Structure 1
Amino acid sequence: MRFVFAILAFAAAAVMIGFGIAQRTVFLEPDRVSLSSSIDSDVPFVVVEPSALDAFDGKQTLTVSGSELVFLAYGRSSDVVAWIGDDDYESIGYDAETGELVITDAADREAAAEEAEEAEETESPAEETASPTTRPAPSETPGATPEPTPAPTDDATADADADGEVVVDPADNPAGSDLWLDEVSGERSVTTTIDVPADIAVLVASDGTNPAPSKVSLAWPLDNATPWAGPLLAGGAALFLIGIALVISGFLHHRRSRGPRRNRGTRTKLPSGPKPTALRRSQLGGRRAIGRAKRVAILPALVIPVLAFTACSADYWPNFEQPPATTAPATTEPPLDPVSTEEPDAEEPEAEPLVPAVTVPQMERIMTEVSTTATDADAALDAEAAATRFTGPALEARKANYAIRTTLPDQAGPVPVPASTPTLILPQQVAGWPATGRTVLVVAQTSDDETVAPTALFLQQMSPRENYRVVYAMALAPDADVPEVAPASIGAPLISPEFKGLVMQPDEVGAAYADVLMKGADSEYAELFESEGDLLQQQLGVAGQQTIRDDLKASSPTADIAFSNAVGTGPTIALATNDSGALVTADILQTEKVTPNDGGTIGFQEGAPGAALSGFTGKSAKGVQRIIGIQMVFYVPAVGSEDKIRLLGWSESLIGASEVP
C-alpha cells in the first residue's frame, strides 16, 4: 500500500506544481493596461485631463513623443487652463463607455458649453443661467473673478525672422512656470511615472510656439498577483517529499519482509554457499546499490524545497491582512436640518472649493529658484535680474543698494533670501485666479546661528504666466511672538484691506504706525500699538530722531534736520491667523531733510551712502534729503481682543537721496 500512496502523492504533487507554475506563466494576466492617442492638429498645447489620468487605479506612466523637443508638466487642472489662456489647445479625456481616450478641441468644448447652457435654461427658464458645469473654453478661466486674465500682448507672440524661421518668445514657453508641481523635458520622447490625485492635469508642449508632440500614451499597473501559486507549489513540493518518504519506507518494509524462513517439509540438500571472493563482491555491490538509491532519494528532497521557496514574492501568496479601519464618519455630509426633510436646491451651482495657492514641495522649489536669483543678482549688482523675482518695496530696496555698492562696495547688502528649507509656509486660500493674484508668506532661517533673526518674505503671483516675486523682505524682530497660523496644506484666507473685523483696518495700519513714529506717546494711535520691545520705535521714532538731531548739532551747528513720514506704495497684504486676527504688511517712507540755517550751503558727506546713491557731490543752499524705506509686518488682533498691534518684523534701507527740490 505504501507504493500506492506514493504514486497518488506523486500524481497530486505533479498536478499542484504544474498548476502553480501555469498560474505564473500561461495563465498570468497582463501587469499593466495602456491607452494611447494621436494628435492630428498643429496646436501648441495638449492637456491630458484628470479623467484620462484617473481612468484606472495606480500610478500613471506617460510616454510623449512626436516632436524634436518634448515638455510636459502637471499641476491643478484650473492652473493649467489658466496658464494657456487664449491660446489654442486640445484636451485628451477618457470615455468610460468605449474605454478609449478621446480628443476634444476648442469647437467641441464651446459646443458642449452651449449645450449645457441650453439644457439649464430649459430646466429653469425663470432663473438666470448658471455657469456651465463642463470645462470652459480656452478663453475662460475656471473659478476666476469677473476680471479676466489679460491675454498675451503682441510682443509675446512668435514672429518669423529674416530666414523665415519661427522665433520663440519666452512668454509662450511653459517651462519654468511656478504653477507646475513638477516638469520634465527631453528630446523626441519623454517617459515619466507620476502618482497624482484628482483634479490634476498634464500640460504637453514643445516650446509653446511649435506644434505640441503628437503621440501621448498612458499606462497603469494591474494587479496580476496569483495568491494561490505559492500554496500550490509549496503543497506540491510537500506531497512530493511525502511520496519519496513512502517509496523509501516501502522498500525498507519489503526488504525486512524477505528474511530467512524455516521449511518444515521435506528436507532437501542445501546448495553450496558462495565462495568468499564472490561473497565479498556481492556484499560490496549491494552496498554500492544502496548508496546510489539513497543519493537518488536525497536529491529531490533537496531540489524540490528550493524550487518551492523560490516563490517567496508577495504576489505568490494570499494576503489575509484586513484593510485599515476608516476614520470617516458614517455620513459624508451632515443633514441640512434635523427636522425638515426639504431637499437643497439642485439648480444652485456649487462653489469652487478653496485650496492653498501652492503645495509645500512646490513652494520649496520656488524658494530655491528665488534664492539662486537673489544671490546671483546681489553679487553682480544686476537690477534687471533681481526684477525677475522681486517687485514693490523689496525691489526698490535692492535697486538702491546696488547703486550704492557700485560706488561703495564695502556697504552691506540687502536682506538675503535664505537657501535653507522654510520653517513656515503660509499660502493664501484661492479658488481660481483672484484679481489680487496669489500670495504666500515664507519664513526661513538665514543661518545656523539661532541668535540671527529669520527672514520673512511675502511673495505674490499676479497672473498665471508670471512667477512669484518677493514684495516684502524683512527680518523678524528678536523674540517675535508670531501667532499660530493654519498649516500649509490648508492655507489662510486673504483679508480685504477694508476689513472691519480687526482692531484696525489693514489699510490704516501703516499710516497709524507712521504717526506713532513721529509723535510717540502723543499720537492718537499710540495706545493701539505695543511699544514695549519695539526696537523700530527706538531707532526711527521720537527718541531715535532726537538722537540724530543731537549728533547733527554736534557735527554741523549751522544745519537743521526735519523728519516726515508717509505711507509707501507697497500693497497691503493681510493673511488671517487662527485666532481671527491677521498678519498685515505696510511700508513707510521716512524723509530726513537737512537744510542750512545760516544762509550757507550744505551737502552729503564725502563717501556717504547718500552721495553714492544720489550722485550729488556738491553743496546746495536748499539742502539735501534722504528717504528711508521701511518694510513691516504686524500682527493685528481681532475686534474685542485685549491684545495690541505688535510689530513682528521690519527692514530699513536707504532708497532715495537728492538735493532738496
Structure 2
Amino acid sequence: MIGIPVRLKTAASLALLGLLVLLAGIGQLTFWAPADTVTASAPSDTKAAPLTVIGQELLDHKGGPSRITIKGDGNFVLAVGRPDDVDGWVGKTAHNTVTGVSEDGKSLQVTNTEGEATAPAPAGSDLWVETESASGQLEYSWNPPADGEWSLLLASDGTKPAPASISVTYPNDTYMPWAVPLILIGSVLMAAGAALPLLSRFLGARNGGNGGSGSGTGNGTSQKPAGPFFKNQAPGGQAPQQKGGTTALRILAAGALATALAGTSLAGAQAAESPSPSSAQGASAEADVPVLVDAQLKRILEQVANAVSAGDAARDAAKLKTRVDGTELLVRTQNYKIRAKVASHQARMPVRASKLLGSVVTTQRTWPRTVVAVTQGDGNVVPQVLTLRQSAPRENYKLLATAPLQPGTSFPAIPLGGTQQAAAGDKTGLLYSGTEAMAALADRLTKPGSAFKDKLVEGTGSPYIADVLDYQADAVKAGSSGTFKFTHTPVPADTLVYRTSDGGALVLGRLDFVFTTTPKAEGDTLIADKAAAVLAGGESTKVGLSQTFAESVAIYVPPAGSNDPMKLVAAFRGLVAASFK
C-alpha cells in the first residue's frame, strides 16, 4: 500500500518538472525571445562634415541592414557607388565614415577625417549606380545593385553639413541555444511521468508472477527471481517495485539527456556549417568588376545623346561641351561652321541611345576610364561605335569619337562582366599590338600597294579603305595644276586596346589624314572646295592648301598564332582644319 502513492508522486513530479522545462523552452522562442530587429545609431556628438560615407563593413554587418534611417536639415542625396568610386569623389574633402557597429550593437562607429571644407554636389554624377533625394528624412532599404562591394555617400550640396543623424536597423540574430533542447527535455519528462505508473505496474506484476511462495514449476523445486530489478531484494516484496520505478526514472532521464544533447549538437553543427556572408562577399570583392553596370551605361548614353541632339539642332558647339570632348567635339564644331555657309555639306551622323547593341566596359578602375558602346536609332543606317571617357572621378563621361560599323563586319565578342584594357604597345598574346595595328592601317590607307594589303582587310558594301584610296587617286587625276601628298598618321594618345573573348583585341583610335596640295608652277592658282574654303578663310591660293581630316577607327586584332588577318571594324572621317600655306 505504501508503494502506490510513491509511484504516483514520482510520476506527478516528473510531469510537473517536464511541464516547467517545456514552458521554459517555449518561452525562449516567444515571450522571452529577443526583439526581431536591433537598431544602432550614430553618436549625437558626431562632428559636422560636408560628406558622410557608409562603408562596406556596415553594409555587411549581420548580413546587411533591413533599414537605414537618415535625418538632415533640408535637402540631401544618398548615392550608391563602388568603394573606390566613393573614395574618388570624396578625395581630400573632410568627411565622416561610418565603419561599423559597437560591441553592444547599440551605437554606430564613426570616424572623422579632416580636409577641404567643400565638395561639388554629388547629384548627377556618372559614378553612382543609384541615387535617392530626400528632404528632412529618408527611410532607405539597402539592396546591393550587383555583386561586389559597395558604399553609400550622403551629402547636401557639398557646402553644407551632410546628414549626421543616422540609425541602422538589422535583423536580430541573437541565438537561443537552449530553446529546442528544453522543449525536448520537457516533452520527454512529461512522457516519462505519464509512463512511470504503467511501467511500475508491469514490473510489479512480473515480480509477483515469478517470486510467489505458492508457485512453482510443478516439480516442487523453488526458483530464484532473475534480472537486475530483483537483485538485493528486500523483505516484504515492496522494495523491488520501488526500485523498479527509480530505475525507470533513470532510464527515461538518460533518454531525455541524450535527446537534448543531440538537439544541441545539431544546432551547433548547423550554425558551424552556415557560411559567413562577409567571407562570401569578400571573395567576390577580390575579383575585378566593371567600371559601369548596365543601368549606368544606359543612363550615360541617354544624356550624351540628348546633348549631341541639342547641339546638332542648334548647330551650337557650346551645347555639346557638357557631354562631348576630344575628336568628336572638334569634328562637330567644324561641321557646324561649314554647314552654316555650305548647306549641302553632310551633317555628322546623329548619336542615338534607343538601342544598345553591345558594349565594351573595362575593369581598369583607375582614371581616366574609357568605355565603348554600339548603338543604333533614328538616322543611323548602320550601328555606330561610340567611345566615351571619364577623365576624373568628379567629371562625367564625355563622347570622344563616333564611327559607323563597317557594312559586312560584325563587332567582336567582349567578355561578359567587363574586359581588360591593355597598353597600346603591349603585344602579349596578340598578332599585333595596338600601336602596330594603327600603323598598319595608316600604311594601308596611304599606299595602294601596302605590305599590309592582305594582313588588314575590311567588309564589303561600303569599304572605307577602298573609298579613301579612290578619293586620293581621283584627286590626283582631277588636279592638273597641283601636286598632291597624302599622309595618315596615328595619334598615339588616342589609341585604346581592349581584350576580346577569343583572346584577340579591339583597337580604337584616331588617324590624322593630311591632304596637301601645292601649285605645280609658280603663279598657278589652286581652288579650294567649298568646305575647305570655309575653314581656310578663302577660295583660292597660289601658295598651297593643307586639309586635315580626323579619322576615327576601330580594328580587330586576332590572337597570337592565328592565320586570320586584322579587320577594320568601324571608320569615319571629318574635316577639322584647312589652311593656305
Residue number in structure 2 paired with 1:51? 57
Please state how far the C-alpha of 1:566 moved relative to its aligned partner.
Answer: 2.0
Question: 2: distance between equivalents of 1:173 and 1:31?
Answer: 37
Does the 8 A contact of 1:364 with 1:421 survive in 2?
Answer: no
Question: 1: distance between equivalents of 2:562 and 2:336?
Answer: 43
- Secondary structure at 1:98's aligned position in 2? coil
Does the 8 A contact of 2:77 with 2:132 survive in 1?
Answer: yes
Matched ranges for 1:375-394 at <5 A: 375-394=309-328
Residue number in structure 2 paired with 1:477? 406
Please state how far the C-alpha of 1:189 moved relative to its aligned partner.
Answer: 2.8
For 2:422, the aligned partner's letter is I
- Secondary structure at 1:363's aligned position in 2? helix
Does the 8 A contact of 1:628 with 1:656 survive in 2?
Answer: yes
Could you tell me which of 419, 425, 437 is aligned with 1:509? 437
Post-superposition CA distance 1:416-471 (Å, at most 9, x none)? 221214121221113x425xx2221211123498xx21111122222211211222
Question: 2: distance between equivalents of 1:602 and 1:393?
Answer: 29
Residue number in structure 2 paired with 1:366? 300
Does the 8 A contact of 1:497 with 1:506 survive in 2?
Answer: yes
Post-superposition CA distance 1:347-394 (Å, at most 9, x none)? xxx995311111111111111111112211222233233233222222
Question: 1: distance between equivalents of 2:318 and 2:96?
Answer: 36
For 2:291, the aligned partner's letter is A
Post-superposition CA distance 1:460-486 (Å, at most 9, x none)? 222211211222211111121333221
**Are residue 429 (structure 1) and residue 429 (structure 2) matched?**
no
Question: 2: distance between equivalents of 1:366 and 1:51?
Answer: 29
**Are residue 36 (structure 1) and residue 46 (structure 2) matched?**
no
Residue number in structure 2 paired with 1:499? 426
For 1:602, the aligned partner's letter is L
For 2:159, the aligned partner's letter is T
**Are residue 92 (structure 1) and residue 71 (structure 2) matched?**
no
Matched ranges for 1:239-638 at <5 A: 352-408=286-342, 411-430=345-364, 432-433=365-366, 437-447=368-378, 452-487=381-416, 490-501=417-428, 502-521=430-449, 523-530=450-457, 533=460, 535-541=463-469, 543-550=470-477, 552-553=478-479, 557-568=480-491, 570-598=493-521, 599-605=523-529, 608-614=530-536, 616-638=537-559
Does the 8 A contact of 1:446 with 1:455 survive in 2?
Answer: no
Post-superposition CA distance 1:305-358 (Å, at most 9, x none)? xxxxxxxxxxxxxxxxxxxxx9x9xxx99xxxxxxxxxxxxxxxx995311111
Question: 2: distance between equivalents of 1:54 and 1:421?
Answer: 36
Please state how far the C-alpha of 1:26 moved relative to its aligned partner.
Answer: 8.8
Question: 1: distance between equivalents of 2:427 and 2:576?
Answer: 33
Residue number in structure 2 paired with 1:176? 124
CA distance 1:388–1:448, change in 2 (3 Å): closer
- Secondary structure at 1:46's aligned position in 2? strand
Does the 8 A contact of 1:588 with 1:631 survive in 2?
Answer: yes
Q: Structure 1 stretch 173-182 or stretch 476-485: which is displaced more?
A: 476-485
For 1:546, the aligned partner's letter is A
Does the 8 A contact of 2:488 with 2:513 survive in 1?
Answer: yes
**Are residue 103 (structure 1) and residue 34 (structure 2) matched?**
no
Quote the sequence identity (%).
Answer: 29
Does the 8 A contact of 1:509 with 1:586 survive in 2?
Answer: no
Residue number in structure 1 paired with 2:167? 217
For 2:391, the aligned partner's letter is M
Question: 2: distance between equivalents of 1:567 and 1:401?
Answer: 22
Does the 8 A contact of 1:48 with 1:202 survive in 2?
Answer: yes
Please state how far the C-alpha of 1:219 moved relative to its aligned partner.
Answer: 3.4
CA distance 1:547–1:619, change in 2 (3 Å): closer
- Secondary structure at 1:538's aligned position in 2? helix
CA distance 1:220–1:603, change in 2 (3 Å): farther
Question: 2: distance between equivalents of 1:428 and 1:364?
Answer: 15
Question: 2: distance between equivalents of 1:64 and 1:96?
Answer: 19
Matched ranges for 1:29-178 at <5 A: 32-37=37-42, 38=44, 40-57=46-63, 60-95=66-101, 97-99=103-105, 100-106=107-113, 172-178=120-126
For 1:53, the aligned partner's letter is L
- Secondary structure at 2:562's aligned position in 1? coil
Residue number in structure 2 paired with 1:134? none
Does the 8 A contact of 2:46 with 2:110 survive in 1?
Answer: no
For 1:568, the aligned partner's letter is V
- Secondary structure at 1:105's aligned position in 2? strand
Could you tell me which of 157, 173, 196 is aligned with 1:207? 157
Please state how far the C-alpha of 1:409 moved relative to its aligned partner.
Answer: 5.0
Question: 1: distance between equivalents of 2:535 and 2:67?
Answer: 56
Please state how far the C-alpha of 1:532 moved relative to its aligned partner.
Answer: 6.0
For 2:578, the aligned partner's letter is A
Question: 1: distance between equivalents of 2:59 and 2:285?
Answer: 24
Does the 8 A contact of 1:67 with 1:214 survive in 2?
Answer: no
Residue number in structure 2 paired with 1:248? none
- Secondary structure at 1:184's aligned position in 2? strand
Could you tell me which of 120, 134, 140 is aligned with 1:186? 134
For 2:405, the aligned partner's letter is L
Does the 8 A contact of 1:517 with 1:540 survive in 2?
Answer: yes
Post-superposition CA distance 1:124-179 (Å, at most 9, x none)? xxxxxxxxxxxxxx8xxxxxxxxxxxxxxxxxx88xxxxxxxxx8xx622121111
Question: 1: distance between equivalents of 2:371 and 2:491?
Answer: 21
Question: 2: distance between equivalents of 1:635 and 1:438?
Answer: 21
Please state how far the C-alpha of 1:549 moved relative to its aligned partner.
Answer: 2.7
Please state how far the C-alpha of 1:637 moved relative to its aligned partner.
Answer: 0.8
Q: Structure 1 stretch 189-198 or stretch 74-83: which is displaced more?
A: 189-198
TM-score normalised according to structure 1 size: 0.61
For structure 2, the 5+ residue unaligned runs are 1-26, 174-272
Please state how far the C-alpha of 1:544 moved relative to its aligned partner.
Answer: 3.0
Matched ranges for 1:16-35 at <5 A: 32-35=37-40
Please state how far the C-alpha of 1:69 moved relative to its aligned partner.
Answer: 2.4
